Every structure is written in structure tokens, then in C-alpha cells.
């Protein structure tokens, strides 16, 4: 009987995953990948939803189980079982039966490995896995990552054979302590939504490279920081187009140098990028970097010392075919549509988009507002939730530090102004300012509709005061925005981070009929009329219609229809041309 209880133990333990509930992998796991040879593991994997977490409960990720006589014990799972799925991708789009699935999904892939250089180290990098991810190689548990939109890496050195079995369990089930929490206005695409790759590096290698213009107003100094892993005492930084080559002494794995230079400055009108390389020991990395300065002066936003108005639009990361797994062609379409609209900026909502988006924005000349999903109600009093949000922020900043296009880090969206929230988000803002002095910090705040004024306490913490409001839509009166601007007295740049109205493309009617193109256009006309000349940035909601299960009336059918373009990314609505005319006339 005692042995039988042992056999059935996995059926009765609520803490069945305790062995795998290790400290989450953090931002410090990341390695710099620019200029490195990427060995992609993208393509066809095997995939299987695991509704009851059977793989973890029965520990089926390890070697074949045998009894005391050495006979194999039957299992309910074998490596390589399941259906084929393309990675990157989402289990929710792999089969119509799984469209609203939330829970664990098991991914498997076999690959071969041959050592190329003696002493080489190997890392596996996941671009993103939504939401909690556990990784195994050849039956060995490697670690756990939480957060569905930022990258992480795990070292495989010493764990690889010629034939290897990679098993990844990703769970997208929502819970209150997560970031984002239980309730949000977008689709919860689960799985390995971005690329998986292998990187080989020398025994001692360059772990990180930071390059930026020093924000001192002179436009004549470039700061370079290098972090190494291993025994390296010196590195060399090169920017050939500027005739720069400089040695950097390393102490404790770190070093930095400030170079005198007069680079051509990056801007939306001139997205100039320089090839930058760093060499240390047997390792070499490179990146394409633009140099610009973004700062505020009173109520003004200054790019390279000149006042600029942020002609923006919000955008989700979504493809009708691939969910959150976009191709470069789709990303270019987003950027070009924004350019067509007259934008010089995009707010990438409400979570970190792919790093390819910021790389392409560098090339095309679109400024970016990037944010982490501290969205609506979060467990602000939970220290673990704060650690989670902080790590997601650090992973994002570490990933995109060299991107000139990224000008704003945002620490949240539409959160209630409570003491715990103020403490939570103030700490996030402090992390931004401590880690990166080359960018501005903001958050999309709420308006106090009793006083009809912006009086969020977070305004004291951020560099740019941004607020969401929907006058003409959720509040049918148009002049609410005028009242807010009249009543709000701020000494920092002020931006509208969301506004707009729902519209079903092709549905027409009178200008006050909801969900018509005419009504959406009128809302934009009034928003422009009341805000023009009184704000420093305008980010309406949103460029494209997108999936959202909380939007289920007959005009929306599972989509948020506030887009200026339909979800097929082709059909422009009337409001698109209203905003386009305004942006083209606005200097």
C-alpha cells in the first residue's frame, strides 16, 4: 500500500511543480548577439497542449522510467509526439480547437551539435515565450523564465551531445500576480512566439555592448560600455566611418570610454546609422547605431536640440495569420503605413514588441515609445510582481539600448492612482533613469473625471506627462478634452497617449451614429481641434484593428475596432485621412 501511495503521489500533490519552481532567469542571462553567427532553431517543431500539466506531474521530461526489474514503464507521452507547428508561432492559431486555449503547451525539437572550436561555449536564446517557460535539454531541467515579451538565454555548454532533444513547456494561463495580470484588452497568444536560436562564443566573450551619444548638449561625445564574461583585460572599440579606434581597460568584467566625435545625428528625416564593432580576446561583435539626443526643456521635447512635436499612433504587434509572430515584411508594412499617415513616432503597445521592430525603425526613421505590460490592475503590493515587472523592464532596456529610434521607456498604462501603484511604478521609473540616461520616461495615465484635470501623482516621477482620454466615444461630449486642458497646469511636456473611437470598416451612417466611419472621423476632428497647439505629442488609438476577446458586440466580433485601418492592414477608414491631413500640415 505504501508503494502504491508513492506511485500515485503525483496525482495528489498540489505542489507537483515544486522541483521546477526555481528562481526565474533574469536580464543578466542575456548575451549580446549583434554581429554573431545565429544558428536558428526556427521551423517545424512538435507541439502538444498539456491541459493538466501531465508532463510536469509525472516527470515525463526525463529518461525512460523502469521498474526494479529493469522493465520499461509505459508513459502517456513520448518525445516528439504531437502535431507539427511552425516556430515562431502560437498554439492558439495552430488549430481552431485551441483558439482560446490557455494553459501549458509542450514543444519538442531534436537537433544535432558538433563542436566547431575547442573551448567554445553555447547559448540558446528565446526571443519570447508567453508566459511562463521551462526549458529541458536531454531530460535535464535548465531553468524557468516568466514574462511573455522579452528575450532570455540559457548556457548549454557541457550539456550537449551529438543528438539532442530540446523540450520546452510554455504556460500562458493568466493570474493576478502576473505582468500583465488577469484582465487585458488584447489576445493572449501563447507559446514560442518569437525565434529560438543557438549562439557559439569563445570561452571568454563579450556579454554586452552599449553605445550612445552622451546627452550633454554638445553632440560631440560618444559613450561606449563593454561587459565581458571571462578573463579579458582589454577591449577595442571601432567606429570606422568616424575614424575612431580606442582601447578600453576592463576591470571586474566592465569598462567604458567616452570618445570625442562629431557624428551625423540620427533623426526621422535623416536616419543615419554607423557600423560599430568591439573586439575583446578572441571575440568580436558589431551593431548599427544611430546617435541622437532626446531631452525636455520645460514643456518642450527636444530632438538634437530642436523642438519636435511627436506625430504618433499606437500599434499592437499582431498579424492576422501569425498572431504575434510577424514577418519583416509585415513589420515594414506597419512602419510604412505610419509614414504614409504622416507619423514620426509609434507607441508600441502594451508590451515589448520584437527587437526587429526597433531595428527597422532605426533604418526607416520612426521614433518609438516602448513599454512593459504594467496594464490596468496589477498586484502592486506583491514584491514578486514588482521583481517580475522590473526584470521585464531590464530585459527590454538591455535588448534595445543601442536603438536610436527608442526615445521613451514607459512603465505602465491606465493604472489606478493608489499608494501601492505609485510606489510600484516610481521604482520602475527609477530603474529606467539609473540604467539609461539617454531616454525619457513616461506612462499612460488616467484623468480625474471629477476635477476634469490631470492630477496623477506619477506626474512628479516621469519626464513626459501622458494621458488617455476618449471624449466623443466613452464620454459622448466632445468638449471634455478642452476642459481637461484648461484645468491642467503642468510644467512638463504633455501628450495624449490614447484617444479615438470604434468603427467597423465599410459601415456608414450619420456623424453621431456609433461604429460608423463618419463618427470616428468626427471624433478625430474634435480631438485635433481641442488639442492642437496645447500638447507636445499625439498618439491616437490605434493604427490597426486587432483581436480582443472582451469586444463582442455585433460591430466588433472579437476585435477592437478603433483602428484607422482594418485588421487586414489594407483598408483605410475616413479618420485615417483626417489624421493624415493634420499631420502633414503640422510641423
Tell whether 352 and 284 lie within a shared domain. Answer: no
Rg (CA), the chain: 25
Give the pLDDT score at 10. 63
* d(C-alpha 19, C-alpha 140), whole Å: 12
Distances (CA, A) of 490 to 446, 448, 460: 15, 15, 10
Sheet harboring 140-146: ordered strands across? 83-87, 43-50, 104-112, 163-171, 132-137, 140-146
Tell whether 418 and 540 lie within a shared domain. Answer: yes
User: pLDDT band at 146, cuts 50/70/90?
Assistant: very high
pLDDT at 4 over 70: no
Tell whether 80 and 106 lie within a shared domain. Answer: yes
Give the pLDDT score at 450. 87
Please return the burial class of 363, using the count of CB atoms within 10 Å of its CB with bins 0-12, 13-18 and 19+: middle
Using the 3D structure, point to which of 201, 216, 246 is the last residue of a domain: 201
Q: Residue 529, SS3? A: helix
3-7, 131-135, 329-333: segment of lowest average pLDDT:
3-7
Residues 6+ apart with CB under 8 A from 127: 88, 151, 193, 194, 195, 196, 197, 354, 355
Q: Do β-strands 406-413 and 440-445 pair in parallel, antiparallel, or remain unpaired?
A: parallel
Q: Up-side HSE of residue 97: CA atoms within 13 Å toward CB? A: 3
Average pLDDT value for residue range 278-297: 98
Which CATH number does the domain housing residue 84 bear? 2.60.120.260
Write down how long the chain is. Answer: 587
Task: Show the cell assigned to 447.
Answer: 484623468
Average pLDDT value for residue range 264-293: 98
pLDDT digits (tens, 9 = 90+) for 202-218: 999 999 999 999 999 99
73/416: higher pLDDT: 416
pLDDT at 476 over 60: yes
pLDDT digits (tens, 9 = 90+) for 500-534: 999 999 999 999 999 999 999 999 999 999 999 99
Question: Which run of H or E residues covers position 225?
Answer: strand 221-229
Tell whether 550 and 572 lie within a shared domain. Answer: yes
Average pLDDT, the chain: 95
Tell whether 38 and 147 lie within a shared domain. Answer: yes
Give the pLDDT score at 448. 86
Q: Residue 242, SS3? A: helix
Tell whether 84 and 177 lie within a shared domain. Answer: yes
Average pLDDT value for residue range 342-365: 98
* d(C-alpha 402, C-alpha 213), whole Å: 10
Structural domain range at position 414: 295-585
Q: What is the pTM of this model?
A: 0.96
Give the pLDDT score at 347. 98
pLDDT at 62 over 80: no
76-90, 240-254, 298-312, 323-337: segment of lowest average pLDDT:
76-90
pLDDT digits (tens, 9 = 90+) for 289-302: 999 999 999 999 99
End-to-end CA distance of the chain: 81
Using the 3D structure, point to which of 247, 274, 292 is the last residue of a domain: 292
Tell whether 236 and 317 lie within a shared domain. Answer: no
Which CATH number does the domain housing residue 301 bear? 3.20.20.80
Give the Cα-Cα-Cα angle 61, 181, 25 (nearest 5 degrees).
Answer: 45
Give the pLDDT score at 65. 77
Q: What is the DSSP letter of 52?
A: T
pLDDT digits (tens, 9 = 90+) for 387-406: 999 999 999 999 999 999 99
Give the Cα-Cα-Cα angle 479, 483, 488 (nearest 5 degrees).
Answer: 150
In 272-416, DSSP assigns E strands to: 274-280, 283-289, 294-297, 300-303, 306-307, 310-311, 314-315, 345-348, 367-371, 406-413
Tell whether 506 and 568 lie within a shared domain. Answer: yes
pLDDT digits (tens, 9 = 90+) for 21-44: 999 999 999 999 999 999 999 999
Tell whether 155 and 59 lie within a shared domain. Answer: yes
Using CA atoms of 426, 427, 429, 430 in order, give the dihedral in degrees to the nearest 10.
120
pLDDT at 1 over 60: no
Average pLDDT value for residue range 276-286: 98
* d(C-alpha 520, C-alpha 491), whole Å: 32
pLDDT at 565 over 70: yes
Tell whether 437 and 305 lie within a shared domain. Answer: yes
Domain count, the chain: 3
Tell whether 286 and 427 lie within a shared domain. Answer: no
pLDDT digits (tens, 9 = 90+) for 215-251: 999 999 999 999 999 999 999 999 999 999 999 999 9
Strand partners, 108: 46, 167
Amino acid at each position: 500500500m505504501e508503494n502504491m501511495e508513492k506511485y500515485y503521489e503525483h496525482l495528489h500533490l498540489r505542489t507537483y511543480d515544486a522541483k521546477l519552481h526555481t528562481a526565474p532567469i533574469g536580464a543578466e542571462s542575456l548575451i549580446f548577439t549583434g554581429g554573431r553567427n545565429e544558428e536558428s532553431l526556427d521551423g517545424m517543431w512538435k507541439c502538444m497542449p498539456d491541459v493538466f500539466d501531465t508532463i510536469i506531474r509525472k516527470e515525463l521530461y526525463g529518461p525512460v522510467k523502469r521498474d526494479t526489474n529493469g522493465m520499461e514503464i509505459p508513459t502517456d507521452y513520448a518525445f516528439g509526439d504531437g502535431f507539427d507547428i511552425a516556430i515562431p508561432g502560437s498554439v492558439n492559431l495552430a488549430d481552431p480547437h485551441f483558439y482560446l486555449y490557455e494553459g501549458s503547451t509542450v514543444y519538442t525539437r531534436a537537433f544535432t551539435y558538433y563542436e566547431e572550436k575547442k573551448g567554445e561555449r553555447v547559448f540558446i536564446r528565446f526571443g519570447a515565450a508567453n508566459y511562463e517557460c521551462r526549458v529541458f535539454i536531454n531530460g535535464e531541467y535548465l531553468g524557468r523564465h516568466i514574462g511573455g515579451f522579452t528575450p532570455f538565454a540559457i548556457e548549454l555548454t557541457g550539456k550537449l551531445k551529438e543528438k539532442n532533444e530540446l523540450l520546452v513547456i510554455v504556460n500562458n494561463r493568466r493570474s493576478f500576480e502576473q505582468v500583465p495580470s488577469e484582465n487585458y484588452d488584447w489576445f493572449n497568444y501563447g507559446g514560442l512566439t518569437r525565434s529560438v536560436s543557438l549562439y557559439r562564443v569563445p570561452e571568454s566573450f563579450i556579454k554586452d555592448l552599449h553605445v550612445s551619444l552622451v546627452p550633454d548638449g554638445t553632440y560631440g561625445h560618444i559613450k561606449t560600455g563593454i561587459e565581458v564574461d571571462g578573463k579579458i583585460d582589454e577591449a577595442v572599440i571601432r567606429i570606422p566611418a568616424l575614424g575612431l579606434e580606442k582601447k578600453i581597460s576592463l576591470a571586474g568584467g566592465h569598462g567604458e570610454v567616452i570618445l570625442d566625435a562629431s557624428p551625423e545625428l540620427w533623426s526621422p528625416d535623416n536616419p543615419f546609422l554607423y557600423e560599430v564593432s568591439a573586439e575583446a580576446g578572441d571575440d568580436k561583435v558589431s551593431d548599427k547605431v544611430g546617435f541622437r539626443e532626446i531631452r525636455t526643456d520645460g514643456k518642450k521635447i527636444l530632438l538634437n536640440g530642436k523642438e519636435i512635436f511627436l506625430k504618433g499612433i499606437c500599434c499592437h504587434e499582431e498579424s492576422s495569420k501569425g498572431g504575434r509572430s510577424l514577418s519583416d515584411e509585415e513589420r515594414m508594412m506597419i512602419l510604412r503605413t505610419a509614414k504614409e499617415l504622416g507619423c514620426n513616432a509609434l507607441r508600441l503597445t502594451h508590451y515589448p514588441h520584437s527587437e526587429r521592430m526597433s531595428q527597422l525603425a532605426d533604418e526607416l526613421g520612426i521614433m518609438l515609445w516602448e513599454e512593459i505590460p504594467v496594464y490596468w490592475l496589477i498586484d502592486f503590493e506583491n514584491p514578486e510582481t514588482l521583481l517580475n515587472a522590473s526584470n521585464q523592464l531590464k530585459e527590454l532596456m538591455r535588448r534595445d539600448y543601442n536603438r536610436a529610434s527608442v526615445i521613451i521607456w514607459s512603465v505602465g498604462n491606465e493604472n489606478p492612482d493608489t499608494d501601492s501603484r505609485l510606489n510600484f511604478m516610481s521604482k520602475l521609473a527609477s530603474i529606467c533613469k539609473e540604467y539609461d540616461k539617454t531616454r525619457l520616461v513616461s506612462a499612460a495615465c488616467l484623468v480625474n473625471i471629477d476635477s476634469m484635470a490631470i492630477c496623477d501623482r506619477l506626474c512628479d516621477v516621469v519626464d513626459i506627462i501622458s494621458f488617455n482620454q476618449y471624449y466623443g466615444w466613452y464620454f459622448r461630449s466632445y468638449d471634455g478634452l478642452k476642459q481637461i486642458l484648461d484645468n491642467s497646469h503642468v510644467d512638463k511636456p504633455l501628450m495624449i497617449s490614447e484617444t479615438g473611437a470604434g468603427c467597423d470598416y465599410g459601415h456608414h451612417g450619420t456623424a453621431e451614429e456609433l461604429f460608423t466611419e463618419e463618427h470616428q472621423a468626427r471624433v478625430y476632428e474634435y480631438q485635433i481641434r481641442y488639442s492642437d497647439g496645447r500638447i507636445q505629442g499625439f498618439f491616437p488609438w490605434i493604427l490597426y484593428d486587432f483581436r480582443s476577446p472582451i469586444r463582442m458586440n455585433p460591430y466588433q466580433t472579437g476585435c477592437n475596432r478603433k483602428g484607422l485601418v482594418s485588421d487586414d492592414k489594407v483598408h483605410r477608414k475616413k479618420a485615417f485621412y483626417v489624421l493624415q491631413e493634420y499631420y502633414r500640415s503640422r510641423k
